[in-house]
Amino acid sequence: MTLKLTLGACGVLAALLGVVPAWAAPPASFDLVLRGQAFVPQTLTVPAGQTLTLMVDNQDALPAEFESGDLGREKVIPGGTRLPVVVGPLQPGRYSFFNDFHPASTGVLIAVPPKP
């Protein structure tokens, strides 16, 4: 019985130790603005290989829908609202996105590998 409790406690401790680094390092954050039905910047360069938070700031009065098949994300952003969209970790490459309510509003996320 004591052996089972000791092994169980070790398992819980190991699990907790594995979670702590995720709490210690929040995802990098990048700003993406919707203004005049356009994304600013239209091209956003981000680091590959890590989880990222895109802070989408819809400065228009109308709602927008951030959508990306490449990123596997879609999120309605009401007018005058700033909301997070978490993505990644991403492989190096180009990831397109658009406003589903105004499909002419497009942009691209470029994930670049870290410099050696």
User: For 7-16, 49-58, 98-107, which range has the lowest pLDDT when averaged over its residues?
Assistant: 7-16
Is the whole model's pTM more than 0.85, yes or no?
no
Q: Which fold has domain 27-112?
A: Immunoglobulin-like (2.60.40)
How is the chain split into domains, by residue range? 27-112
Q: How many C-beta atoms surround the C-beta of residue 90 within 10 A?
A: 20
Longest dimension (CA), the chain: 67
At residue 26, the pLDDT reads 78
Confidence bin at 16 (pLDDT 50/70/90): very low
For 34-55, letters b (16+ CB in 10 Å) and e give beeebbeeeebebbbeeebbbe
Answer yes or no: is pLDDT of 29 > 80.
yes
